[in-house]
Chain A
Amino acid sequence: MNYVAQRLVTFPLILLGVSVLVFVAIRLIPGDAITAMLGTEAGLLTEQQRAALATYFGIDQPWPTQYWHWLTGLLHGDLGISVTYGKPVLDVILERFPVTLELALLSMVIALLVGIPAGIYAATHSEKPSDLLVRIVAMLGQSTPNFVVGLLIIYFLSVGFGVLPTMGSVAPLWQDPIANLSQMILPAITLGFAFAASVTRISRSAMLDVLKDDYVRTARAKGVPHRRTIWRHAFPNALIPVVTLCGVEFGYLLGGAVIVEQIFALPGLGRMVLDAISQRDYALVQGAVLFVALNFLIVNLLVDLAYVAIDPRIRLGGQ
């Protein structure tokens, strides 16, 4: 637990670094909230009008002052107001987050349900035609961009079958689970496809390594049934790289899947950040990136803890 405490202490420092980076980066891109709103019409503004709008958007102060205001607000739990949504940044993020979280969870479930059995099957049938087939499909899954998969799914459903789930806004899971799942399943499959391919490849190679180990041979020599050798003895030890991969990938998905959200018109975090950047909604970008970074840190910590649970030999913190 000492390890967890150590990690938790580093969180604020990392987040502070992230916040400075985002704060500066978003302001370094040419254009500001005024040109984002007015486009070329911004050229018609007088100096005074421009100053009035800069005050309205909160970009009239020097950068250090702006950052200080934002940071003190943050310490009071206030991430500022989004100018496009006209609402507190935290509210906007928390409205969008459930969609992103659900999408990430669903695609991970798909990836694990498909990827682990496929990987183990391929490992136990190593160098046979069926292994080759699994490897080819996995390679395809990893190398096909998800916008291709997404657009193909939409195209085949709408042209071939004349059906398509409603797009645009998502029914909350707890209010209308069927409508919600029908909207989420296609994007989840799109994301899960590539994710499952990675899981397949990792679990196959991890399993192959483990199957060469002495204790597996011993188990076999003792006459332990094949199934039990695989699932009870080999599998848990092959899990470590899979958990690592899932942690990274899941943390990444919690930042929003921009392209898939764009294609399926899902109101998730990814599209929100993209829109916020193009509308130069500084407060929203800063708040959202900080939120995503925090999620990533938490997921990483959970992955570390999962190692200990899976393999008692591992001790965290190098003791």
Chain B
Amino acid sequence: MTFWQSQKNLLAGVALATVVGALAISAPVQAATLRMAWAQDATGLDPHKQTAFSSLRLLELIYEPLVRLDANLNIVPAIADSWEFSADGTSLTFKLNPKAKFHNGEAVTSADVKASFERILDEATGAATRANFLSISSIETPDAGTVVFKLSQPDAPILTAMTDLNAAIVPASEIAAGTIGTKAIGSGPFKLDQWEPNSKEVLSTNKDWAGGAVALDGINISVLPDETAILAALRTGQVDFALLNDPLVATLVPREANLQLNRQPGLAYNVLQLNPSRSPMTELGVRQAISCAIDRQEVLDTALLGEGQVTGPLTIPAYATDPKELFCYTPDLEKAKKLMADAGHADGFEATVIAATGEPPVAASEAQVIQSQLAEIGIKLNIETMELNVYVDRWLKGDFDMAVAQNGGRADPYTMYNRYWTKDGNLQKVSNYIDDTLDSLMKQGRTETDPAKRKEIFAQFEKHLAEVSPWIWLSTSYNYTAQQKTVHGFVPTPTGTLFGLTKVTLD
């Protein structure tokens, strides 16, 4: 090598080092925008109307209710700083955070709270969540920062119901203009800059958010309808953070060195709904026999790959009891056969179970495991799978012998179950079962404000419900998020909210 050649090489080396160095220095300056992916997109922007998980996951980043739930399901401030029930439980007063502002710069006032709840209560809005707020008789606004809800009767669960995004506070001016649902103006940590349905969302951080500073500059969400493709995008570092539904895909995440899976038992429950208005499920013995014949752990292990926990009716950690204590949670085939024989069905019977395709992803496999388990006591189960909407239509009409379902949970047992297990429940047509014990326990649970006594009431409710077996509760599932290990500080919660992204930092 000549002197000049080595000089040239040296120069080239220096130049290369400079470029590499510059690249290394410039890397951290890049904007901290989180690249996120999910398979199902929001279906609309009206926080009072949208109830699908996929819509709530987006809207929770944009809108805020008066109060919200933390990771342990405790009620913590959101728009309201503090709140208080009156001694007789018929009035609930909120003090609003004076710093709370909407994305349009206007302060959040008591007038906005009043207008928002009036919109929810107005039947013309078509807000399903209205059913939780029927005890509100009037809303008073003594000053801009105070709201008083007058209740027609003591209603302990109403505060938890107010943590729901469907009770979000929207600007009174937008309600008047009729633009709720077309423009997304909330008071939450992120602003929606762009939305192309079923394709992408662009969110930027709300610098004026009263909840504190957010480390991210924004979030870019891509809708990747195939979860295998989401996993591939995570693998190649194209996506930082993703929401997953399918346990089959989620269990593959920990195999990748650069990825981390967050899983959290959710409040939703997988259940085999019997229809007690259809013979022979009208008979207690038959329903109990089905409960005894089903091995819940096996359903969980086989259909859900063990991803979840066996559960009784109550999935809320503060209220849940040990499922082993509940009726026939230890499978007992002999007892099941005897119950069938006593009910006059020693030879079994034939029935049809409905399941929705892909919702949840494990529905069809659950139905198959249950089919084989019930065959042991002579029940010939036919499985009918159908598109989600068709399923929902039949489910709402109560048009099924049995249904494999994943029903949403709530942070309060009353709000979660009054629709099914009270005499005037909106979904009596679906549950087709009620007795005086269930109804009176629910009513007690509604008015009782002492937490210890409420817990006792709902424990009795749960025990009785498992015993009369209108439904066979199976398991909870996990809520999954997957992320690069360069993402720090995300706290998952049982409600599945992505609100924890406000605390996230990127390397």
**Residues of A that sit less than 8 Å from B by CB:** 29-31, 34-46, 48-50, 52-53, 56, 83-86, 95, 151, 154-155, 157-159, 162-164, 166-169, 262-265, 267, 271-272, 275, 278-280
- B232 and A40 within 8 A (CB): no
How long is the Cα–Cα vector from A263 to B231 in the complex, in angstroms?
12
| Tally of contact residues, B, Cβ under 8 A | 52
CB distance from B413 to the nearest CB of A (A): 17
Question: Given A44-B426, A52-B123, A52-B126, are A39 and B392 neighbors across the interface (CB < 8 Å)?
Answer: yes
User: Main SS of chain A's interface residues?
Assistant: helix
* Contact assessment for A49 and B199 in the assembled complex, using a CB-CB cutoff below 8 Å: no
B392 to A164, Cβ gap below 8 A?
no
Contact flags (1/0) for B395-410 with A, using CB distance below 8 Å? 1100000000001100
Smallest CB separation, A187 vs chain B (Å) = 11
Tell me the minimal C-beta distance from A26 to chain B in angstroms. Answer: 11
Which 4 residue pairs across A and B have the least CB separation, nearest first? A168-B222, A31-B389, A53-B126, A158-B232
* Count of inter-chain pairs, beta carbons less than 8 A: 150
Contacts A84-B43, A168-B37 given; indicate if A45 touches B387 (C-beta within 8 A): no
Decide: A37 and B51 in contact? CB cutoff 8 A: yes
CA separation between A164 and B228, bound complex, in Å?
Answer: 13
**A31 to B52, Cβ gap below 8 A?**
no
| A37 engages B49 (CB within 8 Å) | yes
Q: By the criterion CB–CB under 8 Å, are B44 and A84 in contact?
A: yes
Please, what's the 1-or-0 string for B428-457, where 1 marks a CB less than 8 Å from any CB in chain A?
A: 011000000000000000000000000000
Q: Does the CB pair A164–B232 fall under 8 Å?
A: yes
Knowing A30-B390, A37-B51, A84-B43 touch, does A43 contact B396 (C-beta < 8 A)?
Answer: yes
CA distance A154 to B233 in the complex (A): 9
A278 surroundings in chain B (CB, below 8 A): 387-389
Residues of B with C-beta under 8 A to A44: 128-131, 419, 426-427
On whether the beta carbons of B429 and A37 are closer than 8 Å, the reply is no
- List, in ascending order, chain B residues with CB within 8 A of A154's CB: 228-229, 232
CA A56 – CA B223 in complex, angstroms?
27
Question: How far is B169's CA from A55's CA once the two chains are assembled, in angstroms?
Answer: 25
- Distance A164 CA – B232 CA, assembled complex (angstroms): 8
Tell me whether B123 and A49 are in contact (CB under 8 A): yes
Question: What are 10 sample pairs from A and B whose C-beta atoms fall under 8 A apart?
Answer: A35-B389, A37-B43, A154-B229, A157-B236, A164-B236, A167-B233, A168-B200, A265-B226, A267-B198, A267-B199
B464 at the interface (CB under 8 A from A): no
- The chain A residue with its CB closest to the CB of B388 is A278
Indicate if the CB atoms of B236 and A163 lie closer than 8 Å. yes
Q: Which of the residues B182, B235, B238, B407 comes within 8 Å of A159, measured between beta carbons?
A: B235
Q: Are A263 and B236 in contact (CB under 8 A)?
A: no
**Contact A45/B128 with A35-B396, A265-B229 known, Cβ cut-off 8 Å:** yes
Chain B 189-233 near chain A by CB (<8 Å), digits 1 or 0: 000000011111000000000000000000000111110110011
Verify A37–B52 contact, CB threshold 8 A: yes
A36-B43, A40-B427 given. 11 additional CB < 8 A pairs?
A29-B387, A30-B394, A31-B389, A37-B51, A40-B395, A48-B123, A85-B197, A86-B182, A95-B196, A267-B198, A279-B43
Residue in A35, A49, A169 whose beta carbon sits within 8 Å of that of B125 in the complex = A49
Q: Is the CB of B396 within 8 A of A169?
A: no
CB distance from A69 to the nearest CB of B (A): 21
- With beta carbons under 8 angstroms apart, the residue of A43, A49, A167, A280 that contacts B429 is A43
A278 to B181, CA, bound (A): 20
User: Quick check: is B172 within 8 A (CB to CB) of the other chain?
Assistant: no
The residue of chain A having its C-beta at the shortest distance from the C-beta of B130 within the complex is A49
Q: Contact: A31 with B390, CB < 8 Å? A: yes
Instruction: Please name all residues of chain B whose beta carbon is closer than 8 Å to the beta carbon of A84 when the two chains form the complex.
Output: 43-44, 197
Query: Is B481 located at the chain interface by the 8 A CB criterion?
Result: no
Contact between A169 and B199, CB atoms less than 8 A apart: yes
Q: Which residues of B contact A95 (CB under 8 A)?
A: 196
B127 within 8 A of A: yes
Decide if A167 touches B229 in the complex (CB within 8 Å). Answer: yes
Given contacts A31-B393, A265-B229, whether A42 and B224 have CB atoms under 8 Å apart is: no
List residues of chain B with CB within 8 A of the CB of A166.
238
Chain B residues near A169 (CB-CB < 8 A): 196, 199-200, 222
CB pair B396 A158 closer than 8 Å: no
Chain A residue at minimum C-beta to C-beta distance from B419: A44
Tell me the bound Cα distance from A168 to B395 in angstroms: 33
| Contacting pair B229 A264 (CB below 8 A) | yes
Is B22's CB within 8 Å of the partner chain A?
Answer: no
Q: Is the CB of B199 within 8 A of A39?
A: no
Q: Which residues of B contact A35 (CB under 8 A)?
A: 389, 392-393, 396
Q: Are B392 and A40 closer than 8 Å at their CB atoms?
A: yes
Beta-carbon contact of B196 and A267 below 8 Å: yes
Cβ contact within 8 Å between A265 and B223: yes
Residues of the A chain whose Cβ atoms lie less than 8 Å from the Cβ of B181: 86
Q: Give the residue among B52, B232, B408, B429 with the most A Cβ atoms within 10 A.
A: B232
Q: How far is the CA of A83 from the CA of B45 in the complex (A)?
A: 11
Query: Is there a chain A Cβ closer than 8 Å to B87's Cβ?
Result: no
User: Which of A37, A50, A151 neighbours the largest number of chain B CB atoms within 10 Å of its CB?
Assistant: A37
